[in-house]
């Protein structure tokens, strides 16, 4: 009994993440054939990979020549980093996971995450709520539901859920704080949002999401210098940043919320 309880407690504090490893097929052979050309290819490859990783909230752990070792906070972030078309593949895999074991909370969390990115928010909420029903002490289940409610235009309901997830798993405060900071922004609690988002960035300053949230807040508060500073951080992380690309990839349900967010980034100097 004690061992089962201990295993259960460990499971509740796990971080749902994905690791990606990439390299260029035949790179060494091609370097021998045309070193100058392949060095140019490597430079472009590195820029494209770094931008894709940053846009999907990943973190480059290590680079080794033509290889990247990357950590993503979400399975969907990892799968979708290469191409939006692969979202359907993520959907298939998430459905298969649920079919294999419908009693596994994390399977419903992943499926809910995929539904969110497909902008099928009602289905996403159902899956996240199912995960909580299966395990009422699952921290990431509460955080995921909060994230989905943010995207669905229900940030007031999201706040308490995210805070509960943080209490259940203090070790992942940085990850959940980013979601909470967004909920605070969406409900107009700007000072709390600023403090929370800064806390997130104190753990990892290379995540573009919190910088974007801060840029929007500062723009709306008329704090132009601070907004531009956050925009500069986004461009440091994503040199080829595009508002149009973000418009296409945001999982937000309400078009007005998307436009408000993009307008804040635009006022901060982003294009």
DSSP labels for 162-228? HHHHHHH-GGGHHHHHHHHHHHHHHTT-HHHHHHHHHHHHHH-TT-HHHHHHHHHHHHHTT-HHHHH
CA atoms within 13 A on the CB side of 174: 12
pLDDT in 10s for each residue of the chain, 271 residues: 444 443 444 434 445 555 555 666 556 666 666 677 667 666 766 765 676 677 666 777 667 666 666 766 665 555 555 455 677 877 887 888 888 888 888 889 889 988 998 899 999 999 999 999 999 999 989 999 999 999 999 999 999 999 999 999 888 777 799 999 999 999 999 999 999 999 999 988 888 999 999 999 999 999 999 999 999 999 998 888 999 988 988 999 999 999 999 999 999 999 9
In terms of Cα–Cα distance, which of 257, 260, 57, 16 is closest to 155?
257
Q: Are strands 59-64 and 18-22 parallel, antiparallel or unpaired?
A: unpaired
* Residue in the block written with tokens 């504090």: 13
Give the per-residue pLDDT at 5.
40
Give the per-residue pLDDT at 211.
96
Give the per-residue pLDDT at 83.
56
The pTM of the full predicted model, rounded to 2 decimals, is 0.74
Give the per-residue pLDDT at 27.
61
Opening angle at CA 40, ends 36 and 41, nearest 5: 115
Q: Is 137 exposed, middle or buried (0-12, 13-18, 19+ CB in 10 A)?
A: middle
In terms of Cα–Cα distance, which of 257, 271, 213, 251 is closest to 80?
251
CA-to-CA distance for 94 and 114, rounded, in angstroms? 8
Quick one: tokens of 128? 């996240």
Give the per-residue pLDDT at 4.
42
* Cα-to-chain-centroid distance, residue 97: 21
CB neighbours of residue 267 within 10 Å? 18
């Amino acid at each position: 009994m004690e061992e089962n309880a201990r295993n259960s407690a460990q499971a509740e504090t796990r971080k749902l993440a994905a690791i990606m490893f990439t390299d260029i097929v035949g790179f060494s052979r091609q370097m021998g054939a045309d070193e100058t050309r392949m060095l140019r290819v490597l430079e472009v490859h590195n820029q494209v990979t770094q931008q894709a990783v940053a846009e999907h909230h990943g973190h480059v752990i290590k680079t080794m020549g033509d290889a990247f070792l990357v950590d993503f906070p979400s399975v969907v972030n990892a799968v979708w980093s290469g191409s939006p078309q692969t979202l359907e593949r993520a959907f298939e895999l998430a459905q298969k996971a649920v079919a294999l074991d419908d009693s596994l909370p994390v399977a419903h969390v992943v499926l809910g995450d995929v539904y969110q990115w497909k902008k099928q928010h009602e289905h996403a909420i159902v899956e996240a709520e199912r995960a909580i029903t299966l395990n009422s002490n699952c921290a990431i289940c509460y955080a995921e539901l909060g994230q989905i409610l943010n995207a669905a235009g229900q940030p007031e309901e999201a706040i308490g859920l995210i805070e509960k997830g943080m209490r259940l798993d203090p070790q992942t405060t940085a990850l959940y704080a980013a979601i909470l900071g967004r909920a605070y922004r969406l409900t107009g609690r700007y000072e709390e949002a600023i403090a929370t988002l800064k806390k997130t960035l104190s753990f990892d300053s290379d995540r573009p999401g919190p910088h974007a949230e801060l840029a929007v807040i500062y723009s709306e508060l008329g704090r132009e210098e601070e907004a531009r500073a956050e925009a500069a951080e986004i461009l440091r992380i994503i040199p080829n940043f595009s508002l149009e690309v973000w418009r296409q990839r945001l999982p937000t349900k309400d078009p007005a919320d998307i436009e408000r967010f993009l307008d804040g980034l635009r006022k901060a100097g982003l294009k």
